[in-house]
Amino acid sequence: MTDLPIPDLPVPDWQTISQIPIHESAEAFQAISLSPKIRTWPAYFKMGIAHTMPECYIREGVYQRLLEATRYLPDHLTLVVLDGWRPFKVQQFLYETFLALLSEAQPDWDEAQRIAQARQLVSPPSIDPKAPSPHVTGGSIDVTLMDADGCLLNMGTLFDEASPLAFSAAFEGRDDLTATQQEARDHRRLLYHAMRQAGFTNLPTEWWHYDYGNQMWAWHRLEAGEINAESAQAHYGVSHPHTLEYMWRSQLGLPH
């Protein structure tokens, strides 16, 4: 799969994405650390960010497709999950922090410019039932690869790096790549094609971000001509892993 380039895909049209209907499947969540085939490294929890969790949760359908993706990788490589379902407060923190840093770094930009730039890395926090942030649905996942020794592969940038090189296809169509960049390009291709074969779509501004079942996934499929506008719909809306507090709140009729 290292011979197959990553296509240069369009940046999401957030207005159109927000209008795709959601028919919630009520699918349960799966704790990824239970899998013997996938490793987890909950990056934001390891960073000490408030309200994060020491586990990576995703919808069961996402989990099954993630297992499928492992079958398309070379035997010596393993998928590593960095983030899955994300609490609203964490989404809010990430977005507001990056937006504030953009205001400091680009004081001449207007608000629209800063928001457009921020959305390439972090979606605005939303638990609107009709237009939720992708990660709060349990349908988005951030992944990378590691070798048999537990070393993360060179992917060209760090996870969540705010750089044009973080675009999935940043190393495609170039004849001036260094050996290190060629290696990163090939690793990205392995990850991309394994995930795509399993039914995921990729956010083109982030080599690590993949979607299944949410509005972002439906929009990418629509853009690729895999479905038509009449059949475009998402399966996952705002949801929450069934933690003890969540269960008790549900049983007591309290808001989640």
Q: What are phi and psi of 3, to 5 degrees?
A: -85, -10
Confirm or reject CATH 2.40.10.10 for domain 14-252, answering yes or no.
Answer: no
Please report the pLDDT score of residue 249 as a whole number. Answer: 81
Is 13 marked as a binding-site residue?
no
Look at residues 230, 243, 171, 198 and name the one whose alpha carbon lies nearest to residue 62: 198
Work out the average pLDDT over 81-98.
96
Cα separation, 102 vs 123, in Å, equals 14
- Name the token pair of 47: 């960073």
Question: Which residue, chain included where needed, has tokens 């650390």?
Answer: 33
What pTM was estimated for this model as a whole?
0.95
Is 142 marked as a binding-site residue?
yes
Q: How confident is the model at residue 256 (pLDDT cuts 50, 70, 90)?
A: low
Active-site entry in 206, 223, 230, 245: 206
Is 135 marked as a binding-site residue?
yes
Q: For the chain, give every domain's residue range.
A: 14-252
161 noted as active-site residue: no
Sign of the alpha-carbon torsion through 157, 158, 159, 162: negative
pLDDT tens by residue, 98-140: 999 999 999 999 988 988 898 888 999 999 999 999 999 999 9
pLDDT more than 90, % of the chain: 88
Cα separation, 216 vs 221, in Å, equals 9
Per-state percent for the chain, helix, strand, coil, to nearest 5:
40, 10, 50
pLDDT tens by residue, 174-227: 999 999 999 999 999 999 999 999 999 999 999 999 999 999 999 999 999 999
